[in-house]
Chain A
Amino acid sequence: MTFETPHIRVQDLNLYYGANHALKNISIDIPDKKVTSFIGPSGCGKTTLLKTFNRLHDSSLEVKVEGKVLLDGEDIYAKGVDVTAIRKKMGLLSQRPFPLPMSIYDNIAYGPRIHGERDRHKLDHLVEQYLKDVALWDEVKDRLKAPASRLSIGQQQRLCLARGLAVEPEIILGDEPTSALDPVSTQKIEELFLQLKEKYTIVLVTHILRQARRVSDYCAFVYMGEIVEFAPTEQLLLDPKEKLTKDYVRGFLS
């Protein structure tokens, strides 16, 4: 399945952890302003694939990446590319929330500050806006100076989402962002995703098929480092073409 103008286009991507061939010949188009989900068993390479989108493997040097990842048509692995500019375009939500070791306020202001925003009023304004965007403002407005680590896990994850939004990304990458959360917090995050897809392209790794169905427009099934099938979510979950997909989906949905 291909798109005219995909936001991200992956072409023949291979990734090795030393001798371990973790991603094999991945080619996929991630459509603009839609939610695309990746499902698949543990260890199949979902996190690994997601990290190739914003070159997070750069810091681990045993990793070798081959192939192309085109962002708006430009290869992010080409020579001379400004990695930080690419990462700025993508907000990452990890499996467990990792607030930075600073206050709630500073967590949100971290990104804008790094990119050169010094104006206090503007920062105040940004912090308020993005905390409201993730429905956290009312819960924390009286303790913006408190360390972010004091928040509950669910609040921390929303904070991390707001922190990512504050650098004005175009894409949100979520790596099982609800797996550490309670049902209520999970629901909040899912609702946020549905709102956010108006403005952002969202890529969501999840192992909850119901979540994929509730939130995503398109869905890819990853198995042993390969993309087995990629289709509109309803179709992939209810009427998969490949036998492997069928087996996997049945196991969960039957």
Chain B
Amino acid sequence: MNIRILKDKIAGRTMLVLTLVSILLAVLVAWGLFYRSLPLLENYSLTDLLTSSAWKPEKGEFGFLGFIMGTLWVTAIAIILALPLCLLVSIYLSEYAHPRLRKLIVPVVDLLSGIPPVLFGVWGVLFIIPLIQDHIAPSFVDNSAGYSVLAGGIVLAIMIFPLLITLFLEVFSTVPRDMLNASLSLGATPWQTVKKVLLKKAMPGMIASTVLAISRAFGETIAVLMVCGGNVPGIPHSVFDSGYPLPVLIANNFGETFSVPLYDSALLFAALLLFVIIFIFNAVSRIILARVKRKIE
């Protein structure tokens, strides 16, 4: 056999193995986390873990509800703030803005996506916290230190701007121009066309994009840790309460308190929880997005 062909074959096999192994990484991560959470899962029922908010590891109480609620609050605030904004910006960029303006805005969105989480945290501490403490909170509650789920939500919202805008633009670009033109030629205004045709046609892709953004917000750790002020686990009751989301739980305690029995197992269970939820969200929305794109080709 020709040496070139042999080289080609060997390289191919090697790369195939590498591809398969690397894909198995996901399985490995899931299995690793699951294996380490097993001790906890063997001692407590899943429902108890997820529905109790009592968190006293020294006494053997592991209730995750407070952390789950913290995550949900922060994520909900972030999505409520970011979704309408990003939707409007994406519509503006794809339907209204002059190409030259688009070429100015899109790179800024790109640069925003390159800013590391810790810098968002620093900015949150410097800007958002005082803003909430001195200007927003006083009109609603008696005293707030500023460190709150609201601060986390605002910072997270900005962090997911780039993701949402990029995905929305991609989804919008799959709607055929001629379909929009058909609506325009009937005398519809651009906004009517956006409302009745563009958004309608893009709906599945937009939902998938939003789910993707939600899962991004779920997992964000350091920025949220810096501005949410969560030191004591508990369920937040207002946007000015401090929050203690799941990723912060892991970041704050991992690697230190392993002398408490089952503590490490509990933290890895938190990681597993994040992994599973985000994995499912991502898989579902990526499949929908891939479908949406394939229809166009």
Direct contact of A and B (CB under 8 A): yes
With both beta carbons as reference points, the residue of chain A lying nearest to B100 in the complex is identified as A61
User: In the complex the two chains form, what is the Cα distance from A59 to B179 in whole Å?
Assistant: 13
Near A by CB (< 8 A), chain B positions 231-287 give: none
Across the interface, which residues of A come within 8 angstroms of B179, CB to CB? 98, 100-101
Cβ-based interface call for A39 (8 A): no
User: In the complex the two chains form, what is the Cα distance from A182 to B285 in whole Å?
Assistant: 38
8 A-B pairs besides A59-B184, A98-B176, A111-B186 with CB distance below 8 A are A56-B185, A62-B99, A94-B178, A94-B182, A100-B196, A101-B200, A114-B192, A164-B186
Across the interface, which residues of B come within 8 angstroms of A160, CB to CB? 182
> Closest Cβ of chain B: how far from A86's Cβ, in Å?
8
Q: Is the CB of A100 within 8 A of B99?
A: no
Q: Is the CB of A115 within 8 A of B182?
A: no
Q: Is the CB of A59 within 8 A of B95?
A: yes
Across the interface, which residues of A come within 8 angstroms of B196, CB to CB? 100, 102, 110, 114
Sample of 21 A–B contacts (CB below 8 Å): A59-B184, A84-B187, A87-B185, A87-B187, A91-B186, A92-B182, A94-B178, A94-B182, A96-B178, A98-B176, A98-B178, A100-B179, A101-B200, A110-B186, A110-B196, A111-B188, A114-B192, A114-B196, A115-B187, A167-B187, A173-B185
User: In the complex the two chains form, what is the Cα distance from A232 to B168 in whole Å?
Assistant: 50
Across the interface, which residues of B come within 8 angstroms of A102, CB to CB? 196, 200
Contact among A61, A87, A173 for B186, CB-based, below 8 A: A87
| In the complex, the 3 A-B pairs of residues with the closest C-beta atoms, listed nearest first | A88-B187, A92-B185, A111-B186
Q: A59-B95, A59-B180, A92-B181 are in contact. Are A101 and B187 (CB under 8 A)?
A: no
Question: How many A-B residue pairs lie within 8 Å, measured between CB atoms?
Answer: 69
Near B by CB (< 8 A), chain A positions 129-177 give: 160, 163-164, 167, 173
Cβ-based interface call for B22 (8 A): no
Q: A61-B98, A98-B176 are in contact. Are A88 and B186 (CB under 8 A)?
A: yes
With both beta carbons as reference points, the residue of chain B lying nearest to A96 in the complex is identified as B178
With both beta carbons as reference points, the residue of chain A lying nearest to B201 in the complex is identified as A101
Cβ-based interface call for A36 (8 A): no
Contact among A61, A87, A90, A101 for B197, CB-based, below 8 A: A101
Across the interface, which residues of A come within 8 angstroms of B183, CB to CB? 100, 110
Residues of A with Cβ closer than 8 Å to B? 54, 56, 59, 61-62, 84-85, 87-88, 90-92, 94, 96, 98, 100-102, 110-111, 114-115, 160, 163-164, 167, 173
Across the interface, which residues of A come within 8 angstroms of B182, CB to CB? 92, 94, 98, 100, 160, 163
Cβ-based interface call for B130 (8 A): no
User: In the complex the two chains form, what is the Cα distance from A160 to B181 in whole Å?
Assistant: 12
Across the interface, which residues of B come within 8 angstroms of A59, CB to CB? 95, 180-181, 184, 190
Chain B: how many interface residues by the 8 Å CB criterion? 22
Across the interface, which residues of B come within 8 angstroms of A164, CB to CB? 185-186
User: In the complex the two chains form, what is the Cα distance from A167 to B185 in whole Å?
Assistant: 10
Across the interface, which residues of A come within 8 angstroms of B95, CB to CB? 59
Across the interface, which residues of A come within 8 angstroms of B201, CB to CB? 101
Contact among B98, B178, B188, B200 for A114, CB-based, below 8 A: B188
Cβ-based interface call for B52 (8 A): no
Q: Is the CB of A84 within 8 A of B188?
A: yes
> Closest Cβ of chain A: how far from B148's Cβ, in Å?
42
Near A by CB (< 8 A), chain B positions 176-214 give: 176, 178-190, 192, 196-197, 200-201
Residue of B176, B180, B185 with most partner-chain A CB within 10 A: B185
Across the interface, which residues of B come within 8 angstroms of A101, CB to CB? 179, 197, 200-201
User: In the complex the two chains form, what is the Cα distance from A84 to B190 in whole Å?
Assistant: 9
Q: Is the CB of B184 within 8 A of A56?
A: yes
> Closest Cβ of chain A: how far from B284's Cβ, in Å?
22
With both beta carbons as reference points, the residue of chain A lying nearest to B182 in the complex is identified as A98
Across the interface, which residues of B come within 8 angstroms of A62, CB to CB? 99
Across the interface, which residues of A come within 8 angstroms of B184, CB to CB? 56, 59, 87
Residue of A54, A84, A163 with most partner-chain B CB within 10 A: A84
With both beta carbons as reference points, the residue of chain A lying nearest to B187 in the complex is identified as A88
User: In the complex the two chains form, what is the Cα distance from A46 to B57 in whole Å?
Assistant: 76
> Closest Cβ of chain A: how far from B77's Cβ, in Å?
32
User: In the complex the two chains form, what is the Cα distance from A250 to B196 in whole Å?
Assistant: 47
Contact among A61, A94, A110, A167 for B99, CB-based, below 8 A: A61
User: In the complex the two chains form, what is the Cα distance from A56 to B180 in whole Å?
Assistant: 10
> Closest Cβ of chain A: how far from B250's Cβ, in Å?
43
> Closest Cβ of chain B: how far from A59's Cβ, in Å?
7
User: In the complex the two chains form, what is the Cα distance from A163 to B95 in whole Å?
Assistant: 23
User: In the complex the two chains form, what is the Cα distance from A187 to B183 in whole Å?
Assistant: 26
User: In the complex the two chains form, what is the Cα distance from A100 to B181 in whole Å?
Assistant: 10
Instruction: Scan B8-33; emit 1 where CB is below 8 A from any A CB, else 0.
Output: 00000000000000000000000000
Across the interface, which residues of B come within 8 angstroms of A114, CB to CB? 186-188, 192, 196
Q: Is the CB of B187 within 8 A of A94?
A: no
